[in-house]
Amino acid sequence: MNPARSALTALFCFVLIAGAQAEQPGEEENLDRRVAAHFFALSDLAAEALSGEPTTNDNYRDPGRVRAYPQYFVDSYAVRALAVAADLTGSESCRRACRSWADRMLADQAGMAPAGAYYMNYHRKPGETAGQWFVADCGSIAMGVLAVAVRCTEPEFRDRYLESVESFIGLVMDNYVRPSGGITDGIWNKSDDEWWCSTCLVTALAFQLHGITGERKYLDTALAGIDWLLGFEYDDTILYDFEDGAPTTVFYVLEAYAAALPYLARGSVRRQKVIDRLSASVEWMADTQNAEGTWDYNPDNWGVKLGGLPCHMLIYGSIAQEDRNAESARLALSGRLVPLKKLVGESAAKALDYFSGRKKDSRKFTQQDAFTMMSYAELLCPGELYSKTGREFPFTRNYPKQQR
């Protein structure tokens, strides 16, 4: 699919997959314009936020700060989506912001202990040998660095970024991957057992790194992680009650499943299990969506990932034909009984309509903005966020540039 086609076309293709009918094309055209405009506006704001000095826990709430959070792992989601925006528009400011951020991650990584760790912008700092350090957070950071690496036009920079990511995952594979396939969260005072979040994010990273390098060891780590996650129950989160932080748990688990799909053989038992889990998760999203199009979770706490939920609903749309539950009747918010795949398609469109229509402070780039950009990127460039393969260097598609 040519992602330079409008967001409306991409959404309409998804709705066709879902069996939905376009009853009010005028409204869909309006949604198309709003989604595209919001994505590019957020991209400009993200580029500005990522180009400046990082915020800290002490100053991120200051009125003059564009970046309204301190965590580098949040940056990584903006970077991954911003890289797609650069693919679509050819924006040099977007590319420079991504490279500047990745360079900062590598500079900090050079001083970290253990070797290969990324600095998270909290807890253990470069040069320190004490303090907490989390595999999960750094798995997200590594995926951001990887998104920059595969788009570099200079082989020496691509190699440097890839070496950084491989150094991190090597640290994890040597020290934190357990025989069960689950992965601990590094140096964490709450638990030294396998943890769902670290397992999700390193698994997603390992699949993508295998796609780029062809290294079997990364695929083995990723498959073992998927098998562990298939036994994970959403309410076993440790850090918070699932009822309080469901969007965070679901988003991260589905990162692993989304990254796995390009590498799991059609018809295989493992792929079917992943699709079953994805299907159940997007059904939960559709069932719990409110009348506005969002979900009733605190957007300033564990609900900040709400904007990323449509991303995974769109990914489900791309494989709905493989879901044995796709034609099963479900009760829609309107009271109608509709097939699951149609319900999810309508729910995704409603969520995109909600997020693209929000009024916001144009001078603040928030965590929810970063995750919302992931949904927009998946809509505009289906498959680009999670399917990184060993295609000819550099990683790019011949997209006609989007007019902004």
Lowest mean pLDDT among 24-33, 154-163, 224-233: 24-33
Q: Are 309 and 251 in contact (CB under 8 A)?
A: yes
**For residues 36-47, average pLDDT:** 94
Q: Are 205 and 169 contacting, i.e. CB atoms less than 8 angstroms apart?
A: yes
For residue 238, pLDDT over 90 is answered with no
Provide the pLDDT for residue 57.
87
Q: Decide if 68 is inside a domain.
A: yes
Structure tokens at 31: 């949604």
| Closest to 353 measured CA to CA, from 368, 366, 372 | 372
pLDDT of residue 156: 92
* DSSP annotation string for 244-260: HHHHHHHHHHHHHHHHH
Residue 404 lies in a domain: no
CATH of the domain at 288: 1.50.10.10
Mean pLDDT of the chain: 88
CA atoms of 400 and 113, how far apart (whole Å): 44
- 249: containing domain: 7-14+29-380
Q: How far apart are CA 321 and CA 344, in angstroms?
A: 13
Cα 59 to Cα 72, 204, 369, distances in angstroms: 15, 32, 19
The pLDDT tens digits for 261-271 are 999 999 999 99
| More reliable by pLDDT, 315 or 361 | 315
pLDDT of residue 399: 45
Structural domains in the chain (count): 1
**What is the pLDDT averaged over residues 240-257?**
85
Domain-located, residue 386? no
Q: Can you tell me the mean pLDDT for 10-21? A: 40
Q: Note whether residue 226 is domain-resident.
A: yes
In-domain check, residue 362: yes
Average pLDDT over residues 59-73: 91
As a three-state string, the secondary structure of 194-241 is CCHHHHHHHHHHHHHHHHHHCCHHHHHHHHHHHHHHCCCCCCCCCCCC
pLDDT tens for each residue of 161-220: 999 999 999 999 999 999 999 999 999 999 999 999 999 999 999 999 999 999 999 999
**Domain-located, residue 291:** yes
Q: Is 129 buried (19+), middle (13-18) or exposed (0-12) by CB count in 10 A?
A: exposed
The model's pLDDT over 253-312, given as tens digits with 9 standing for 90+, comes to 999 999 999 999 999 999 999 999 999 999 999 999 999 999 998 777 767 899 999 999
Q: What are 330's two structure tokens?
A: 């479900």
Of 379, 373, 237, nearest to 305 by C-alpha is: 373
pLDDT at 15: 41
pLDDT number for residue 26: 56
In this predicted structure, the answer to whether residue 13 has a pLDDT above a threshold of 60 is no
d(CA 168, CA 293): 38
Contacts of 158 (CB under 8 A, 6+ apart): 149, 150, 152, 393, 394
Domain-embedded: residue 247 = yes
Q: E strand or H helix at 186, and its extent?
A: strand 186-187
In a domain, 371, yes or no: yes
CA 196 to CA 277: how far, in whole Å? 15
